[in-house]
Structure formats: C-alpha cells, structure tokens
Amino acid sequence: MIITNIEQVPGKTIIQELGLVQGSTVRGKHIGKDIGAFFKGLVGGEIKGYSELLIEGREEAIERMTKEAEVLGADAVVNVRMATSSITGGAAEMMAYGTAVKFEP
Amino acid sequence: MISKEEISAEIDKVIHKMPWEWLNDYSAMSIWDMVVANGLQVLTVGVLGWLLATWLERRHLRSMDEREIPLQKITVNTSKRITSCEPEGTTLLIGSVVVAHDYFRTLIIVFRNIVGGNIQPYERLVQRGRREALIRLKEEAGLRGIDKVINVRFTTNSVSGRFLHAVEMVAYGTGVKT
C-alpha cells in the first residue's frame, strides 16, 4: 500500500477514486510515564514518554486507515492528512484520513 | 490517660489563636519559617533545573548542528509536483518530537506574559522542536534511501499529561526515491 500526502502517486496513473478512508485511535500512557514526565519537566527538553505515545498512536491510526483502504480494494491512499487532539490529561487522539485510489493495471 | 477537661482545654487553646499561631506551641518553627524554608527548597530545585535546562539546550543545539551535516543531500520542499526526475518509489514520512519547558522557566513566562509581547523562551523552544522534527523526518528518509521529500507540512499540537504541558511538533511529507 502506497501512502502519500500529495494528490497523485508519481509515476502511476489513477483510474478510480474509491472515497474517503480514515483511521483514528485514542491512546494513553500508564501513570508511571506521567510521573517520569513530571521529573523530566524539571529540566525541560524532549519528553520521550510522550513522543513514543504519539508516534505509536500515529502508526496505529495509519494502519487502521490502510486496513480500511484494503477492504475497498485500493492500491494507494493519497492526500493523507493528520490531526491530533488532546482529549484529556494523559490521552491523545490521533487521526489520519485520505482518499483511497486504484491504479491503471 | 487524658481527661476530657484536658482535651477541651487544648482545643480552646487552638481555636482562640489565629491560624498562623496554631503550630507555635508544638514546634520550634513558626509557620512563616516553614514557608520560607520550603520556598527556598522549591526555588533551589527550580533554579538548578533552569541551569541544567540551559546546558541541555545548548548540547541539543550542538548535536543538531552535527546531525544536519550528513542530511544536507536530502532535499525538502513544499511543492506538490516533482520537476526534475522520474521517481521509483513513494512513501509517507513522519518526524515528530514532544518538547517542554522546565517549571522555573514556565513560571517566568507566566509573569512575563502579564505585559505580553514576544515570549522569547517559547520562540526558542518551538524553533528547536521544529528543527528536531525535520531532522527526524530526514533521518527516516536517509534510512530508506530516499533523497527527496516533497509537500512537507508542519503541525503543532499542545499535549497535556497529568502533570505536564508540552508541545508536539510534527513534520510530514512524501518521500520519493529517484
């Protein structure tokens, strides 16, 4: 499955648009990571626990989007956009959405 | 055994005093001494954190300078079309980082924000974060043997944990193998 955030896939011809596909996930970390983040906050800088959380979440969102596209029988997902929102303390929602397309065989 | 009269006498002693005098009979320290002592402890931890944060920031900037050198051959742009070459493969690349200030600096910012204007520590933080996100994007491209990333977009999200508020910087784009 090819994923891009431009309108086409370079080198391929799109013959059919299969519609919107999207995947989202809400993830939180266990309280230990939050306590770690609290102590990291004494000196600032990168908060690794949260970086991991958001990267894992984003991967999962993209995976879910890809699965949806596979069900539709798509070859690629183009024009992918990402959104993040913080739902509550310690949890974040990741969302990825795009257009599923089919190539010329 | 303590009699009822003794207990009520103790209670009378306490309730006829002002709140800041309650601890006077029970400890050598007055409540104000405690406030001062704890305040000093908090301030010491805060200032130490601040100094350490400044040192870590400089170290991070130096490390980014070094990491950027081998990545210079990867070109990044925001256009949606490829002009120079025929591509072989395409993938979505993401680089992200979560950064936060130390608590002491956050406190300074709160006071600084009363008058408004440029908040320089925050400007530095978001610039540093964005640079790191772009470097991570390029590093991922380098690992996959990609030398061109097109249509790069930046987003900034505010992340709040149970105790700490941080900002997430994301850079994402389409990597093309040429």
CA distance B51 to B44: 11
Same domain, B13 and B100: no
Q: What is the pTM of this model?
A: 0.80
Q: Are residues B46 and B77 in the same domain?
A: no
Decide if A91 touches B, using CB distance below 8 A: no
Residues B78 and B89 in one domain: yes
What is the per-residue pLDDT for A59? 93
Tokens linked to B148 = 């061109």
Other beta carbons within 10 angstroms of residue B79's beta carbon come to: 10
3-class DSSP assignment, residue B56: helix
Chain B environment of A45 (Cβ under 8 Å): 53, 56-57, 60, 99-100
Write down which residue in B38, B71, B104 finishes a domain. B71
Contact between A68 and A95 under an 8 Å Cβ cutoff? The reply is no
**Complex confidence, ipTM:** 0.85
In B71-166, which ranges are continuous DSSP H helix? 103-112, 120-143
Give the best residue of A1, A14, A35, A51 to mutate against chain B (max B CB count within 10 A). A51
B92 CB within 8 Å of a chain A CB: yes
Distance from C-alpha of B45 to C-alpha of B137, rounded to nearest angstrom? 35
Q: Is A3 on the interface with B (CB under 8 A)?
A: yes
Q: Do B159 and A92 touch (CB under 8 A)?
A: yes
Query: What digits encode the pLDDT tens for the residues B56-73?
Result: 999 999 999 999 999 989
Mean pLDDT of B146-150: 89
Are residues B102 and B143 part of one domain? Answer: yes
pLDDT at residue A96, as a whole number: 94
Asked whether residue B156 falls in the same domain as residue B89, the answer is: yes
Is residue B149 within 8 angstroms of chain A, CB to CB? no
Cα B101 from Cα B108, distance rounded (Å): 11
| Percent of chain B whose predicted confidence (pLDDT) is above 90 | 31
Name the minimum distance, in Å, from the CA of A90 to any CA of chain B: 4
Rounded-to-integer distance, Cα A100 and Cα A22, Å = 10
Does B112 share its domain with B45? Answer: no
The total number of structural domains in chain B stands at 2
Distance from the Cα of A20 to chain B's closest Cα (Å) equals 17
Q: What is the pLDDT along chain A (105 residues), one digit of tens a residue?
A: 899 998 888 888 889 999 999 999 998 777 777 888 888 888 888 888 888 888 999 999 999 999 999 999 999 999 999 988 877 766 788 999 999 999 888
Cβ of B158 and A89 within 8 Å?
A: no
Question: Are B138 and B148 members of one domain?
Answer: yes
Whole-angstrom distance, CA of residue B150 vs CA of residue B169: 18
Closest CA to A75 of A19, A22, A15, A2: A2
Both B97 and B11 in one domain: the answer is no
Tell me whether B142 touches chain A (CB under 8 Å).
no
The per-residue pLDDT for range B23-59, each reduced to its tens digit, is: 666 556 666 777 777 778 788 888 888 899 899 999 9
Which of A5, A35, A52, A101 should be substituted to probe chain B, the one whose Cβ sees the most B Cβ atoms within 10 Å? Answer: A5
Q: Which domain range does residue B10 map to?
A: 1-71
> Is the domain of B80 the same as that of B103?
yes
What is the chain A residue with the closest CA to B166? Answer: A47
Q: Which of B50, B71, B92 is the last residue of a domain?
A: B71
Q: Do B65 and B133 have their domain in common?
A: no
Strands A91-103 and A2-3 come out as unpaired
- Return the pLDDT at B24: 62
Same domain for B55 and B33, yes or no, is yes
Same domain, B80 and B1: no
